[in-house]
């Protein structure tokens, strides 16, 4: 096994220390076109060698495939214990029910046991409630998570896409280590109270889709997306919305040129500058993009750079919602 490179570290909550950039593994299983397990395994080896210590997955990514892939890699590579594994429950997908939010205690427990088995580990480092069901009190869901902590099945509790009020209620029931929510230059709604709440409560913030589902890389060609790529039906990538959004890249590209960096690196550097408790989790299936993303840790944006980016991507300048109507109803609960 090659020597592992050290990356700068950040702490989620009070005790979960991870690399400043984590890795979102979802795309290795679905949503972004075809993937290759052998290539994914090689990339997992590489990112661990480069010092990435947080890998994010979920039980419903690929209907269990993503956790199974990571579990097989952990066993074959001997990396168990060297990286922190974050996974999630709460979104039920099956031919019988379609897709629905399920926060019942029985379902959370069943999902946790199944994730442990697929991952082949004794304890999940960070376990998220993937979405919140407003019909079930968050205190009840947290009670189930607390029981799993007491049983040693999970080490830290996280939530995804919740409002500041729900986060505060949950944190009173049991310390929340991390909130995972979409955050990037083109998704900044968390700046309206949620981000401040995480900082005030001492909760880490894990930013998913930090490159705007590839848009902020400046390389995306919607015409070349695979037929089963989720972005083909995402409102921000459709028609007039996409054409309007392309203008957002002008400022990003100009600042990237000044720093001899790429637009993706500038987007990640901007995100890292928003708070020391923020850990972005960009995902990729390519070694070159992994290396590019990690290069963002060396980009130092000036106050003027940050101000220009803030102005260029201010709320209201992005066209289209980040999910369809059904998906939007599950956010900020």
Average pLDDT over residues 269-294: 97
Q: Are 296 and 272 in contact (CB under 8 A)?
A: yes
Proportion of the chain in helix, strand, coil states, percent, rounded to 5? 45, 15, 40
| Residue range 12-38, pLDDT digits in tens | 999 999 999 999 999 999 887 788 999
Q: What percent of the chain has pLDDT over 90?
A: 82
Q: At what angle do helices 263-272 and 287-295 cross, to 10 degrees?
A: 50
- pLDDT tens per residue, range 223-246: 788 887 878 888 998 889 988 999
- Indicate if the alpha-carbon torsion angle 183, 184, 189, 194 is positive or negative: positive
Report the distance separating Cα 40 and Cα 162, nearest Å.
Answer: 31
Q: Where are the chain's structural domains?
A: 9-211+265-299
pLDDT level of residue 162 (50, 70, 90 thresholds): very high
Can you give the pLDDT at residue 130?
A: 97
pLDDT in tens, 216-225: 999 988 778 8
CB 19 within 8 Å of CB 56: no
Q: Which CATH number fits domain 9-211+265-299: 3.20.20.100, 2.60.40.180, 3.30.565.10, 3.90.1170.50?
A: 3.20.20.100
Catalytic residues: 61
**pTM for the complete prediction?**
0.95
Q: Is the pLDDT reported for residue 3 higher than 60?
A: no
């Amino acid at each position: 096994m090659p020597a592992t490179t050290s990356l700068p570290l950040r702490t989620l909550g009070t005790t979960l220390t991870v690399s400043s950039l984590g890795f979102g593994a979802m795309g290795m299983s679905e949503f972004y076109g075809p993937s290759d397990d052998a290539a994914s395994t090689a990339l997992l080896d590489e990112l661990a060698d480069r010092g990435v210590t947080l890998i994010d997955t979920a039980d419903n990514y690929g209907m269990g495939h993503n956790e199974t892939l990571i579990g097989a890699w952990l066993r074959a590579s001997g990396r168990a214990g060297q990286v922190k594994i974050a996974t999630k429950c709460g979104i039920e997908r099956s031919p019988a029910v379609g897709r629905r939010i399920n926060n019942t205690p029985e379902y959370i427990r069943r999902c946790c046991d199944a994730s442990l088995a697929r991952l082949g580990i004794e304890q999940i480092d960070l376990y998220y409630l993937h979405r919140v069901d407003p019909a079930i009190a968050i205190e009840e869901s947290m009670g189930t998570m607390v029981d799993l902590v007491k049983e040693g099945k999970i080490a830290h509790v996280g939530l995804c896409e919740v409002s500041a009020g729900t986060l505060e209620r949950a944190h009173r029931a049991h310390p929340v280590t991390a909130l995972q929510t979409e955050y990037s230059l083109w998704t900044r709604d968390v700046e309206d109270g949620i981000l401040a709440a995480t900082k005030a409560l001492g909760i880490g913030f894990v930013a998913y889709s930090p490159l705007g589902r590839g848009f902020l890389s400046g390389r995306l060609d919607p015409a070349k997306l695979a037929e089963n790529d989720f972005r083909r039906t995402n409102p921000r990538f459709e028609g007039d919305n996409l054409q309007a959004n392309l203008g957002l890249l002008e400022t990003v590209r100009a600042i990237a040129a000044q720093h001899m960096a790429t637009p993706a690196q500038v987007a990640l550097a901007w995100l890292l500058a928003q708070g020391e408790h923020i850990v972005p989790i960009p995902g990729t299936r390519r070694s070159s993009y992994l290396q590019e993303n990690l290069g963002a840790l060396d980009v130092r944006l000036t106050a003027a750079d940050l101000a220009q980016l803030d102005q260029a991507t201010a709320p209201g300048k992005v066209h289209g919602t980040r999910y369809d109507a059904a998906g939007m109803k599950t956010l900020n609960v």
